[in-house]
Structure 1
């Protein structure tokens, strides 16, 4: 059965970016360390070309990512994430229909890599229709995940915890006051992250 899953990486103290994130600044000051697990080790925005670690995942990271991509039929992300990522170079990073939540859907970019949608509920509805019997992946940012959880639209929540205390930035559950119960589905551990999967009790 098709499910809606949300996943995001955060620090031990609950931040999903470092301070001063945004367009042209990526994950903010020191925020790239949150995603060492994606690249197999340390990387930096301003590193010399060819000096970054390989992007081939291995072990726990590969198992977790392979499982997520195998189930994914459509994706949802927020406009801030889209802008901070530099539009992913106008190339869809997931290879499935991807819906960007924005208050300005009239700014729809050319091509069919992304579809701008006004509101989380509409974005998830359209993503579910596009995904068929596969899953919808909500990739962030934090505000989009909070809105989807508050609306009761998330079936599973995956938190990837980086072994890092950032001390500042954007918190995943900043201002979130809703009481939601979770059921533990499993945990995986690697050098660069702890992967925790939950089912959301509806």
Structure 2
């Protein structure tokens, strides 16, 4: 059964990059010198060291580790991808003629563009009807495998808020960044009395990162839990004051 999945590397205080760069995201060299890059490369350090990631990028070296096995597992599970336009713009040139996806990619955007075919099975289709339509198209193209939300954080929040996400995996790096782009927050569109419930499905701890996988069960109402109240309670709850 096709699942919609997402994963993101974050710091312990919840940031997936440094502060947002206002420069043109298509200038990758500028991005590398900008405020986002230091935080991003710190929380994804575990990825760069993994053999499975390096092989997928066409690089040599790397470590054959549990981290590498998790990356290989993620690539193998995905039959199609959904990503935001900003991520595509930043990655188009560095990915080159043979991007690492090797599957159809649906880019959520407000700017139309013709389908971009690349070597190795990757194609980029630009979807202007929103994330729901992009996920729908990706499901149809996935061939029964998973639809992976490839990022960035803004698109992941939209997919989660729309109730489209089935599985979320966080890779938590043991670092506090203090500031940057936070993965979760007001962008989820939650009110004061509702939340999005998650069920832990897997925890894998390695020296450089902790992998937390959750099944997303959807929104629920938040209620006051007063199970700790005793019969001797004195105060507003008892007196009505």
TM-score range, shorter chain: 0.7 to 0.9
Partner of residue 4, structure 1 = 4
Please tell me whether residue 143 in structure 1 is matched to residue 154 in structure 2: yes
Matches of 2:116 and 2:2 in 1, distance apart? Answer: 29
Matches of 1:11 and 1:183 in 2, distance apart? Answer: 21
Cα pair distance change 1:54/1:174, threshold 3 Å: farther
Shift of residue 10, structure 1, vs aligned partner: 0.8
Query: Comparing both structures, which one devotes a greater share of its residues to strand?
Result: 2
TM-score, length-scaled by structure 1: 0.85
Matches of 1:107 and 1:15 in 2, distance apart? Answer: 31
Is the contact made by 1:3 and 1:136 (CA closer than 8 Å) also made in structure 2? yes
Cα pair distance change 1:10/1:102, threshold 3 Å: same
Please tell me whether residue 122 in structure 1 is matched to residue 133 in structure 2: yes
Shift of residue 165, structure 1, vs aligned partner: 1.2
> Which deviates further from its counterpart, 30-39 or 13-22?
13-22
Q: SS of 1:107's equivalent? A: coil
Matches of 1:30 and 1:99 in 2, distance apart? Answer: 26
Matches of 2:63 and 2:101 in 1, distance apart? Answer: 16
Matches of 1:103 and 1:174 in 2, distance apart? Answer: 23
Superposed, 1:144-163 pairs within 5 Å as 144-163=155-174
Matches of 2:114 and 2:151 in 1, distance apart? Answer: 19
Partner of residue 96, structure 2 = 89
Cα pair distance change 1:111/1:86, threshold 3 Å: closer
Shift of residue 89, structure 1, vs aligned partner: 2.7
Cα pair distance change 1:128/1:193, threshold 3 Å: same
Larger Cα Rg: Structure 1 or Structure 2? 2
The one of 182, 192, 197 equivalent to 1:181 is 197
Structure 2: gaps of 5 or more residues: 51-58, 219-241
Which deviations, in whole Å up to 9, do the C-alpha atoms of 1:35-69 show, x marking residues without a partner? 1111118xxxxxxxxxxx96534221122112212
Q: SS of 2:103's equivalent? A: coil
> Which deviates further from its counterpart, 159-168 or 107-116?
107-116
Cα pair distance change 1:32/1:141, threshold 3 Å: same
Which deviations, in whole Å up to 9, do the C-alpha atoms of 1:48-104 show, x marking residues without a partner? xxxxx9653422112211221221100111111112334423533211111111111
Shift of residue 109, structure 1, vs aligned partner: 5.8
Cα pair distance change 1:110/1:181, threshold 3 Å: closer
Partner of residue 43, structure 2 = 34
What's the C-alpha RMSD, in Å, of the aligned pairs? 2.1
Shift of residue 33, structure 1, vs aligned partner: 1.1
